[in-house]
Amino acid sequence: MYREHNSQASKRRPAPGRTGRPTGPLVTVRLPDGRLVQGEHLADGPAGGRPADASGHQQTLVLMSPPGGPRYPRRRRWFHIIPRWVRWTAVLVIVGVIFRRAVAWAVLAALSGALHLFGASLHLPHVTFGWPWSSSTTATTDVGPLVLQKIEGVDKPALGTTTFNFLFTHSVSKPMGVLPCWYSATFYAVGRASATVNLNPGPSWWKPSTGHYVLRVLSKPTATAPGTVSVALSLPLPQLPQSVHDVSVDNTLSKPVSSDHSWTYPGLACGVLIKPQFSQSVLYAQAQGVAFQQATTLKSVTQPLIAAAERQASTIINGNFITPTLAALNYKVSQFTIHWVIPPAST
């Protein structure tokens, strides 16, 4: 046991004359990159540490590969194989697809500005600005009340102005004992009358249960074309003039047509009592009363008056309120109708 231990210890100890460091001759080492390293020890060989060349001169060793073994080139990743311009093009295409609404809006705005600058008139498609996270659909809410309530101070405008002509007679008589004394003149007059239309009957009128406002979406908007809707409204019937102040008489077209008098006129007594110079204010008041009576009872006047008021109301509501509001939501009105109904007594 003792001998065995000593033999193992002797194996671990270096031989005499060796310190554990290379003791071979000094050589010059040329690295693969061309650098020279001076004074490197050559490891001891089987010939007792002598180099192959025994001339005594210091030898130069050339390393063909870097220390630690050959180095292989790194493996390139797959995206480095794709050209840079292809990668940037793909990125721009993806961004353009995601933000297509904003890009289309910006391009059309720039093109419209350029055409306006050069004075060219070209109809460009309508594209609304929008982000990818914003919804492009429009809810079919009751925009009718919201639109019609924008009419401030014109809730009941006078529409459908119609002119009509008529004749009226003004007479004056004075008592002169048993003798008749009177004078009369007939005048031609032109009257003007308008009907009033209640464009905004109030919130209760537009309740969904009444069915006074119906909007149907026929098609939703796309990237190239706006959506289409149909709108149907119900409004109270136009009202005829309510007082004599709602009608007027054109003085420039009114004129006397004929006159008549008693056989005693223009005798001295009757001529002094009656002076046929009628006051303009008296004649106008009488003509206005006759015009009001015809504008509310005579069918040849009331029917054209109501029809004209309905046409003007339809044009105002559709052209000034319904169409612009829906156009801002990228919708086009394909059909618009107004149904005229008799309002309830409380309206």
Q: From 187, 299, 209, 304, select the one nearest 253 (Cα to Cα).
A: 187
Report d(CA 120, CA 99) in Å as an integer. Answer: 29
CA distance to 23, 41, 206, 230, 323, per residue, from 333 (Å): 103, 98, 20, 6, 6
pLDDT at 95: 75
120 and 113 Cβ atoms separated by less than 8 Å: no
> Is the full-model pTM beyond 0.85?
no
CA distance to 170, 186, 218, per residue, from 255 (Å): 12, 9, 57
3-class SS letters over 202-216: CHHHHCHHHCCEEEE
| pLDDT per residue rounded down to tens, the chain (347 residues) | 444 444 444 445 554 545 555 555 566 666 666 666 665 555 544 444 444 455 555 555 555 555 555 555 556 566 667 787 877 888 888 877 777 777 777 777 777 777 666 665 555 565 555 666 554 444 444 444 555 555 544 567 888 889 999 999 999 998 888 888 999 999 999 999 999 988 878 778 878 788 888 888 888 888 888 888 888 888 899 999 999 989 999 888 888 899 999 988 888 888 888 888 788 889 999 999 999 999 999 999 999 999 999 999 898 888 888 888 888 888 888 889 999 998 776 54
pLDDT at 176: 83
Report d(CA 126, CA 117) in Å as an integer. Answer: 19
Report d(CA 26, CA 31) in Å as an integer. Answer: 16
Helices H / strands E in the chain, number of each: 9, 10
Joined together, the tokens standing for residue 295 give 């504008």
pLDDT at 212: 85
Q: Residue 249, Cβ neighbours under 10 Å: how many? A: 22
| Cα–chain center distance at 345 | 40
Q: Give the amino acid at 320.
A: N
Residue 20: exposure state from Cβ atoms within 10 A (0-12, 13-18, ≥19): exposed
Side-chain-side CA neighbours of 57 within 13 Å: the count stands at 5
pLDDT at 319: 86
Report d(CA 327, CA 224) in Å as an integer. Answer: 14
